[in-house]
Structure 1
Amino acid sequence: MNTTMTGSVFQTILQILAGGAGVYGILVAAIFLGQRTMMYPAGGSLGTPAEAGLADARELTIETEDALRLVSWYLEPAPGRPVVVYFHGNAGTLADRAFKARLFADAGYGVLLAEYRGYGGNPGKPTEEGLYADARANLAWLAAAGQGAENTVIYGESLGTGVAVQAALELARAGTPAAGLVLEAPFSSMAEAAQVHYPWLPAARLTRDRYDSQAKIAEVNAPLLIVHGSDDRVVPQAQGRRLFDRAVEAKRAEWIAGGGHANLYDFDAGRMVLSFLDSTVSP
């Protein structure tokens, strides 16, 4: 073969590889820089509790440690009943979870639907540490209203499971464990969840907001319920099982056959959660 031609082909291959590496690098950089926009789409406006079917809910203004004033919604419990503090997933707002709040409230439980910074018209930009601060502010408001941790159930859904585990961990470390912890479709960590969706990228290493629940769950000493669907394509059930295996007793799981990521209440998850609450935290 002509050596000049061989050299030309080799040079072309190198140029193609270099170009491909350049495109890959640009893509990695774009995803790294834009990951919070993807992670926190922030939903729309809240509207009013009545518009969401919660006419008996109060709209609260809760101030965080970094001086943000956030809106949350609160339904009072029946006398002596616990309050469920609900941290929702990354899509939509607390108003989209009103049907769950209605279910718990109709059973006599109080519900604090906690809204995050940057969501539902709230000020601020969502970050992992920011959402942890939002959770602390909501729990502090509840404690000031006379509802202590011993009468508080922390509930997290999807992204909110990372917030819920951190909140439960902080209460455990303070010596005031929550009455219960409910995790709906939980990830083991956000880094591992990201790697599932971007297997061709070093996504786990690039993830800034890591929500490393699997590193924390063994310290949480509140009774635990995990509900997770077998057909979850957003957070594979294997991650929920890994979290469950690392948790301490008392713990309970509902592995829902056929359930996806956002439709578990279509598979009777609401009844499962109420059963857990009635048997574990109700007086």
Structure 2
Amino acid sequence: MTIAKWTVILLVAVYLAALVVLYVRQREMLFPIPTAARTSPDAANYPEAEEHVLTASDGETIIVWHVPAKPGRPVILYFPGNGDFLAGRIDRFKAMTADGTGLVALSYRGYAGSSGAPSEQGLLRDAAAAYAFTTARYEAERIVAWGFSLGTGVAVALASEHRVAKLILEAPYTSTVDVAASSFWFVPVRLLMRDPFHSDRRIARVTVPLLVMHGTIDLAISIVFGERLFALAHEPKQFVRFAGGGHDNLDGFGAIATARRFIEQ
């Protein structure tokens, strides 16, 4: 009986210690900041882009890359995934802007030259600064907000509060809490998570045309979460499933062409 009692006590202690580690380190897991240093567009072989340093409402300095739109063309306001850095997405950016579409791509706080440390509220402040930069140069009716992965939560939050023309969500989720809970089912994630990114609670305030793109074998964010979020959204809306598509490879399945058709509609 004594051995059994101490075994239970040990297991409980290990479990509680694991909870403490997960709570303390959760932002390191949600925001795995790449080791890439700040890189200028020219150094990244992307001279079409201009680098700008913005100041968020809390004083953090945030980097955006801007490719000016051709006359009459739309501009994509792009919110990347949690492990992305701008210089690592050159091929995607070039494909997005090949037809004269403009681009404003955000480097979140703490990422590749932007100051501060990431959090949900921090990223929303960064998005607001990027939106202000964009609307100072383009009418809201030309702005297409595009979020990828973690960035879909940022894009939904922005589109729920600010005027944009359209919204594109690539590999989205209902909330980061839902995604984390599906992986860490043995942990009370809903009580511990500090950055829940509740797109499910915000999407009802989005009234512009919506495109959702998701790979059917996405192992990072299951397509189930994209389907659930889509069900909560208002019309007009489209859901494109890429058969065999994963999380970070949808360009190879036609994501850019799909988005371009949606933007042109």
Q: TM-score, normalised by structure 2?
A: 0.97
Within-5 A mapping of 1:14-93: 14-43=5-34, 44-93=36-85
Q: How many residues align?
A: 264
Within-5 A mapping of 1:197-216: 197-216=183-202
Moved more, 93-102 or 179-188: 93-102
Do 1:187 and 1:213's aligned partners in 2 also have CA atoms closer than 8 Å? yes
Residue 7 of structure 1: aligned partner: none
Matched, 1:165 2:156: yes
Report how far residue 127 of structure 1 moved: 0.5
Residue 229 of structure 1: aligned partner: 215
Separation in 1, partners of 2:111, 2:45? 20
Separation in 2, partners of 1:132, 1:11? 53
Do 1:152 and 1:178's aligned partners in 2 also have CA atoms closer than 8 Å? yes
Residue 266 of structure 1: aligned partner: 252
Percent identical pairs in the alignment equals 36
Q: Which has the larger radius of gyration?
A: 1
What is the DSSP-based 3-state SS (H/G/I as helix, E as strand, rest coil) of the residue aligned with 2:43? helix
Could you tell me which runs of 5 or more consecutive residues in structure 1 were left unpaired when the two chains were aligned.
1-9, 172-176
1:102 partner letter: K
Q: Indicate which of 84, 93, 107 corresponds to 2:99.
A: 107
What is the DSSP-based 3-state SS (H/G/I as helix, E as strand, rest coil) of the residue aligned with 2:57? coil
Do 1:225 and 1:276's aligned partners in 2 also have CA atoms closer than 8 Å? yes
1:144 partner letter: A
Could you tell me which runs of 5 or more consecutive residues in structure 2 were left unpaired when the two chains were aligned.
none
Matched, 1:184 2:170: yes
What is the DSSP-based 3-state SS (H/G/I as helix, E as strand, rest coil) of the residue aligned with 1:41? coil
Report how far residue 46 of structure 1 moved: 3.3
2:139 partner letter: G
Do 1:88 and 1:97's aligned partners in 2 also have CA atoms closer than 8 Å? no
Q: Indicate which of 108, 114, 133 corresponds to 1:141.
A: 133
